[in-house]
Structure 1
Amino acid sequence: MQEVFISIDGNNFRILTQNLESKNKPFVLLHGFAGSANIWKFLFENLNLDFPLIAIDLIGHGKTSSPKDYELYIESALLDQLNKILTHFNIQETILLGYSMGGRLALSFAINNQNRIKGLILESSSPGIEDENLRNQRIQSDLSIAEQIDSKELKDFFTEWYKQPVFSSLRNIPNKLESLIERKTVNNKTGLTNSLKGFSTGKMKSYWNDISKMEIPVLLVCGSLDTKYYEIMQKMNSLIPNSTLKVNVGTGHITHLEKPDEFLNFVRSFLRTFLE
């Protein structure tokens, strides 16, 4: 596994790579809000399949730049950055995996660049919010969260953040939860608040009307205890023609963290169909 930094429009992006010499389709990994490429290290170490692996610190996260310009965090800018990163590595076609926020970006990229995406894995994610009133409510909620990030120490903020019902199952693994909170505190407040303001679920375009037109294979993964996203992904599964839903029993929103072996098995089974 190598760590590289590349410049995209004057901002430095930190990227983890492995096995780039493989002739198979590159497998590109996107983290969630306040995460980094490091969340996928377990996959780099244990996937044991011959794929080039590329995990990206998205703008405002990890060791990637956290510019003050809000416009660099909106959906169109994120899509452009991802496109330029793929071009940097001379990637014409790829398989994308995204968790939560990263899943929303992966889905958006797949729909807007159908000729470049051969397969898609979405973990605990969604195609956005259809209802305009609910979308506006979510925008206001995320603006409030951004204000909290600005006013608190990051450790205090994330300690409260992970008390939300969607993360309740993490209390069963206190050591992992404590480590997770520590990892979140390395982020930059400017990057986090701009990410919320620019690409919250309320800010992204709703793709509910587009997913039924997708033709690529799609793997949907969620935890059985994450009732909100279990319902969302069941609905997605019913709409996306070539999709499969895998439920990681006994886990919540961060299913790859809570039961990584089961998550790996889901991913391996999906990827094997792409081996050349």
Structure 2
Amino acid sequence: MARNGWRDRIVHRWLHIPYRLSVRYKRLRRPFATTYVLIHGLADTGALWQPLLAQLPKQSNYIVVDLLGHGESPQPHDESIYRASEQARHVLTTCVAAGLSGPVVLIGHSFGALVATEFSHMYRGIVRQEVLVSPPIYRDETGSRRDWLRQDKLLRSVYRQVLKTPNLVVAGYELGDKLGALGFSHMQLSKNTFAGFENTLRAGIISQRTGRLLRHITIPTTIIYGRLDPLLVARNFTALARVNSCITVRPLSTGHAIRERTLREIVAVIQSR
């Protein structure tokens, strides 16, 4: 255990070599064809996207991974490796190793949408389009008190308090999964996987730069969100669309989870391009 910890520290933290993630699904039949890279959210796995795969264009490729700290992917303890920008590096490395060769369309849900935005920023030469579903985009904490949107600050405070009660969080997710409140989720949050959940929430969601990046995005970007979603700040989406014509906002009468209505909207977006 200790030996693996030191190996991880040397290879991934000191040498900054990305992790190889678990590939949940892939179809790479056509070299250089458009490849859909599907990225799940916090406390979920790539299995979230299984209902969408059959609806992707027949001539396209796709790759679905489990993010670091989730599903069958590694679960290191270094919080900094869970930043959205670091997750984007892990995703690209895994996709290239799996055989990625063509242009990319990114589809991300929740935290996966933040990873998709980082990916688009870092590897803009290969990304043709991104679809961000239920993205928890919050304004920077570095802003002056006068600039705060109260909902952004409140949500961050709630997340910090939630992390103080891991047993309650795990029980809540388990109940939500049983009731179907998490949508097409194969959530695997437990006491054993809580560290990955905590590191992702702290480094990837509480601390983020997604709004700043989207202000300058130059590829077609669609934000799909539910008006009934308590984890989102819709005003942030409309503000981004006002300053960047590449961004389109499509509200639905849904919540945070991906359900049939959301899937139909995703398909409509990718078919319109």
Query: After the TM superposition, which segments of 4 or more aligned residues of structure 1 sit over 4 Å from their partners?
Result: 8-12, 133-140, 178-182
Mapped pair 1:234 → 2:242: no
Corresponding residue pairs, total: 248
**Shift of residue 265, structure 1, vs aligned partner:** 3.5
The RMSD of aligned alpha carbons is 3.2
What's the TM-score, normalizing by structure 1?
A: 0.75
**Shift of residue 218, structure 1, vs aligned partner:** 1.2
**Shift of residue 136, structure 1, vs aligned partner:** 7.2
1:269 aligned to which of 258, 268, 271? 271
**Shift of residue 157, structure 1, vs aligned partner:** 3.0
1:110 aligned to which of 120, 131, 137? 120
Name the counterpart of 2:29: 21
Assess if the C-alpha contact under 8 Å between 1:73 and 1:194 holds in 2: yes
| SS of residue matched to 2:118 | helix
Looking at structure 1, the residues matched to 185 and 37 of structure 2 have their Cα atoms a distance apart, in angstroms, of 25
Question: Can you list the C-alpha shifts for 1:65-123, whole angstroms capped at 9, x where unaligned?
Answer: 11122232124422321231233234463111111111011112212322121111111
Moved more, 62-71 or 32-41: 62-71
In structure 2, the gaps of 5 or more residues are: 1-11
**Shift of residue 266, structure 1, vs aligned partner:** 2.5
* 1:126–1:108 Cα change, 3 Å: farther
Question: Can you list the C-alpha shifts for 1:5-49, whole angstroms capped at 9, x where unaligned?
Answer: xxx858552113333122421110111111110110001133353
* 1:93–1:47 Cα change, 3 Å: closer
Looking at structure 2, the residues matched to 33 and 59 of structure 1 have their Cα atoms a distance apart, in angstroms, of 10
Q: Which letter maps to 1:146?
A: L
Name the counterpart of 2:194: 189
Question: Can you list the C-alpha shifts for 1:235-276, whole angstroms capped at 9, x where unaligned?
Answer: 22223222322223x31222x325245334324424xx3xxx
1:63-74 to structure 2, matched below 5 A, reads 63-74=72-83
Mapped pair 1:96 → 2:98: no
Moved more, 12-21 or 30-39: 12-21
| SS of residue matched to 1:46 | coil
Question: Quick one: percent identity of the two aligned structures?
Answer: 17
What's the TM-score, normalizing by structure 2?
A: 0.76
Looking at structure 2, the residues matched to 58 and 269 of structure 1 have their Cα atoms a distance apart, in angstroms, of 26
Q: Which letter maps to 2:122?
A: N
Looking at structure 1, the residues matched to 233 and 158 of structure 2 have their Cα atoms a distance apart, in angstroms, of 18
1:130-145 to structure 2, matched below 5 A, reads 130-132=140-142, 140-145=157-162
